[in-house]
């Protein structure tokens, strides 16, 4: 286990609180409404969002479930979305010329199949 990467409990609470507040604001929900849905007080929610309180598992579950928030997002942060072009660049960097030729052949055939399928639909 890499202990240098472990955060102190206080740091974790601050990160979770920030993420919780951000998730609530993205939903355009007041602390009052958010807290009511989770069954907690506004002051308790505020303390959680500010990293001053460590909610119990059941409170954490209620906050997430009742407000449609992913527990993963609160704990680990939002998923990093990659664009399709980033993925293509990353995956294609190690392709050989033969691999590229095979891909071109595959997609050319795929395009032909789609075009013929569309022609058949138009004739129907």
Enter the pTM of the model: 0.60
Which residue shows structure tokens 């609160």? 74
pLDDT (tens digit per residue) in 59-105: 999 999 999 999 998 998 877 766 777 777 777 778 888 888 898 89
The SS3 call for residue 78 is coil
What pLDDT is recorded for position 9? 84
Other CB atoms within 10 A of residue 72 CB:
11
Domain residue ranges of the chain, discontinuous segments joined by +: 3-76, 84-123
More confident residue, 57 or 93: 57
- What's the CA gap between 34 and 30, in Å, rounded? 6
Q: Grade residue 33 by pLDDT with cuts at 50, 70 and 90.
A: very high
CATH architecture assignment, domain 3-76: Orthogonal Bundle (1.10)
């Amino acid at each position: 286990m890499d202990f240098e990467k472990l955060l102190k409990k206080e740091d974790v609470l601050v990160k979770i609180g920030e993420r919780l507040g951000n998730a609530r604001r993205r939903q355009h929900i007041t602390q009052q409404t958010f807290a009511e849905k989770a069954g907690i007080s506004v002051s308790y929610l505020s303390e959680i969002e500010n990293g001053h309180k460590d909610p119990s598992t059941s409170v954490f579950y209620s906050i997430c479930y009742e407000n449609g928030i992913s527990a993963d997002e609160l704990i680990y942060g939002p998923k990093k979305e990659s664009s399709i072009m980033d993925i293509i660049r990353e995956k294609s960097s190690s392709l050989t010329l033969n691999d590229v030729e095979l891909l071109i052949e595959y997609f050319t055939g795929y395009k032909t199949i789609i075009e013929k399928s569309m022609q058949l639909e138009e004739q129907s």
